[in-house]
Each structure stands twice: as C-alpha cells, then as structure tokens.
Amino acid sequence: MLGDFMPILVLVCLAALICGVMVVGSYVLGPKKVTPYKSSPYECGVMPLGTATERFPIKFYLVAILFVLFDIEVVFLWSWLTIFKDAPTDFQVFSGVDVAVYLGLWIVGYLYIIKIGALDWDEATSLAPEKLEASATVAVPAQASNQEALA
C-alpha cells in the first residue's frame, strides 16, 4: 500500500526516535536542583515584568496571511510545471497563455500589496503616515545641537 513511500516512513520513524532520545536523554541524565531564581523566566537578571504573552505587531499576522495567499497560488502551478516540458506544442502554447494570464493576476495582486505598503516594516509610513508629518521638526545640524546639549 505504501509502495515507494515505505522507506520515507522508516526514515521519519528513525528521525523521530533520534529526536526523542536527545530530548528525553538530557532530561533524565542531567542533575536537577530547582530554585525559584532558576525557574523564573530569564530577563537579564531583572525580576520579570508581567506575562510574556503580550500583544505583538499585526505585521507578523499580515505576513502570514500573504504567505498563505502567495504560496497557495504557486502550489496550483506545480502539476503544470511538471508536465509542461514534454507536452505537445499545442498544449504548451495554450496552457502557456493560460498560465500567463494567471501569473498576470498574481502580479497585479503583488503590485497591490506593495502599493498599499503591506510589506513595509517602517510603521511610521505604513500604519500612520500622519504621525510622521506631525513629528517632523525643523532640521538642525546634529552636531551643533549635541554640542549645545553638552554645554
């Protein structure tokens, strides 16, 4: 039933076994002397503040969504990619035009996300451009103002 994939199953089982032995082995072999300081989260030697499950920038979510969209769009191409080279010329021309249209839509979507700044990691421009203008100050030579500050 498994056919060609049976060795893969063996490989996967052995790889999982190695990983399991590594993790369990280190848990079993090492000494354990638990103290409250050791078992608190590491924050550079300072008492940890709040929990770690904090809010994080929505950019990560956005990247994940875009990844799913674009990856699925490439996934649809794989079967076509495999048969294209050895296919009859008629099929190559017609399916080539089809795929060109499909990739054209892909590119339009791509241009759209670039244009709305979904991939800009500088939040000042992509999320709130008005903040940028509000915080813009008159340019003063950096060195001079630093010298003033020191004086």
Per CB under 8 A, contacts with other proteins among 126-145 are 126, 129, 132, 135-137, 139-142, 145
Judged by CB under 8 A, the residue of 83, 101, 127, 128 near other proteins is: 83
Q: How far apart are CA 26 and CA 32, in angstroms?
A: 11
Sites for other proteins among residues 1-20 (CB under 8 A): 4-8, 10-12, 14-16, 18-20
Maximum C-alpha span of the chain: 82
Judged by CB under 8 A, the residue of 1, 85, 108, 134 near other proteins is: 85
Q: How far apart are CA 146 and CA 144, in angstroms?
A: 5
Residue burial 85-101, b: 16+ Cβ < 10 Å; e: rest:
eeeeeeeeeeeeeebee
Evaluate whether 132 touches 124 at the Cβ level (below 8 Å).
yes
Q: How far apart are CA 83 and CA 78, in angstroms?
A: 9
State yes or no: residue 90 binds other proteins (CB under 8 A): no
Provide, rounded to whole angstroms, the least separation between the CB of residue 102 and other proteins: 11
Count the residues of the shown chain that bind other proteins, applying the rule CB under 8 A: 87
State yes or no: residue 102 binds other proteins (CB under 8 A): no
State yes or no: residue 114 binds other proteins (CB under 8 A): yes
